[in-house]
Amino acid sequence: MLTTLIYRSDLHHDLSADSLKKLIERARSNNESVSVTGILLFDGRTFFQILEGPRESVNATYHRICRDDRHNNFTLLLRDYAPQRRFGLTGMEIFDLRNADRADVFSAILPQRSFTSSQTYEDRPIRFLRSFLEDKNRSSYVRVAPVSKDDFYQQAIPLHDERNICPASRRWTFAFQPIVDTVEKKVIAFEALIRSPSGGSPQDLFSSMAKDELYEVDLLSKESAFIRAKQIGLVNRKVSVNLLPGSLVSLPDGVDRLLALVAAAGLVPEQVVVEVTEDEIISNFTEFQVAIDKLKAAGISLAIDDFGAGFAGLSLLSQFQPDKLKIDRKIITGIHRSGARQAIVQAILNCCASLEITVIVEGVEQVEEWAWLQAAGARYFQGFLFARPALSGEMIVHWPG
Ligand code: C2E
Ligand code: MN
Ligand code: MN
């Protein structure tokens, strides 16, 4: 299948003109041998590369480039399929835009088209090419200096044991995971994550329960979550708990019971965040609205959890704005190399900035993901890179140096 792939990357500071020339020579003969067309544009800082050819050859070339660490800020922009080649002969052609007429470059790459009028049949690969030549979207390029996990240092935060806190809590326990502000290097909150008594996942604990029992356990369990959070110390910090809307809506006085648990633990409602996933909100929206209003009236803040993982997304945000929005890990994984993920997260960050919603990025595992996100303006993070959920003993937080 004919495949078109486009990426951009930045010139590595110590790549000499001579080694660049050699690199291109090698790419040309590689491409020719596997019938791949390579078009490379260079504006003095950024390379824009089009690869077109049989799927296996393009993929093999792409994987080789991915492993080559002479590319800085390597970002995949597009992978597409088409009935015929758009970009001419196989091999490798480079265009230095610094001393070229952009319209001439365009006609050299696509002789049958016009640079001054975009035709009806311009598809995404051609529009990407045109935008690069017209210097469009440059402001969305996020540039990141190389970072290493070796520069991180550790902080230990003690965590009290669950035993003897409240009698019911023998049926479950909580792991705590910090939510961090990497600008101020502060833990801003702890998320309480429920576990079975043996440390099993929320899924393990909840799967055997009928709906009513599940709601009851979900609500009741927050007693020990709040007490333990209080013991960790919540000066200038919050505790985040997950709740199913049903646990507040289906149980009589659900909201009042939650508020009573907060007070009994010696917390004020302003220290508490309730996290609900977008799908759960949308499927119970009318009933849940009443509960949300009551929580907000009492001082508790609301977070939409796993934003981007479900079906609600932007329509939910248009109906109701939470205090916090947690971007799901699925959008975050590998963000430093994905043009699509970057564009989506930049849009979420912009939208939340306009609405004064705090964005927390979940599931950050790689240092490169964090570096990109931070350069793009994200500030609050939760993920294995910084700290894994801890059941007891201590939470180890890893801070960028
Ligand atoms: P969540 O609220 O989105 O919590 C984050 C989940 O992602 C946790 O999984 C956490 O261990 C995991 N996680 C955090 N950082 C990373 C990372 O960098 N990489 C990866 N791969 N995973 C990371 P966990 O504890 O298994 O919880 C799963 C879900 O169960 C939670 O997702 C939440 O929706 C639900 N849950 C947890 N506790 C409760 C609870 O008390 N009540 C209810 N109703 N649901 C809960
Ligand atoms: Mn959560
Ligand atoms: Mn989540």
- pLDDT for 255 equals 95
Ligand 1 lining (C-beta closer than 6 Å)? 177, 193-194, 201-202, 218, 221, 242-244, 275, 277, 305-306, 329, 362-365, 382-384, 389
- pLDDT for 163 equals 66
- At 164, the pLDDT band (50, 70, 90 cuts) reads low
- pLDDT for 16 equals 84
Greater pLDDT, 156 or 66: 156
User: Token digits for 85?
Assistant: 């080649």
Phi, psi dihedrals of residue 241, rounded to the nearest 5°: -125, 150
> What mean pLDDT do residues 83-106 have?
92
Q: How far apart are CA 263 and CA 259, in angstroms?
A: 6
Name which of 239-243, 312-316, 351-355 the model is least confident about.
Answer: 312-316
Find out whether 75 and 337 touch, Cβ atoms under 8 Å: yes
Question: Which ligand has the nearest atom to the CA of 173?
Answer: 1
Could you give the percent of the chain with pLDDT greater than 70? 99
Given CA atoms 149, 23, 37, 9 in this order, what sign does their dihedral have? positive
Mean pLDDT for the chain overall: 93
Question: Is the per-residue pLDDT at 140 higher than 80?
Answer: yes
Instruction: Say how many Å lie between the CA of residue 261 and the centre of ligand 1.
Output: 22
Given CA atoms 208, 192, 311, 316 in this order, what sign does their dihedral have? positive
The predicted-structure confidence for 316-359, as pLDDT tens digits, reads as follows: 899 889 999 999 999 999 999 999 999 999 999 999 999 999 99
Instruction: Say how many Å lie between the CA of residue 190 and the centre of ligand 1.
Output: 12
Assign residue 101 a region (left: φ > 0; alpha: ψ between -120 and 50; beta: otherwise).
beta
Find out whether 392 and 174 touch, Cβ atoms under 8 Å: no
Question: Which ligand has the nearest atom to the CA of 225?
Answer: 1
> What mean pLDDT do residues 148-158 have?
95
Name which of 49-63, 262-276, 303-317 the model is least confident about.
Answer: 303-317
Top mutation candidate among 242, 249, 382, 396 for ligand 1, by most atoms within 8 Å of CB: 242
- At 220, the pLDDT band (50, 70, 90 cuts) reads very high
Question: Is the per-residue pLDDT at 13 higher than 80?
Answer: no
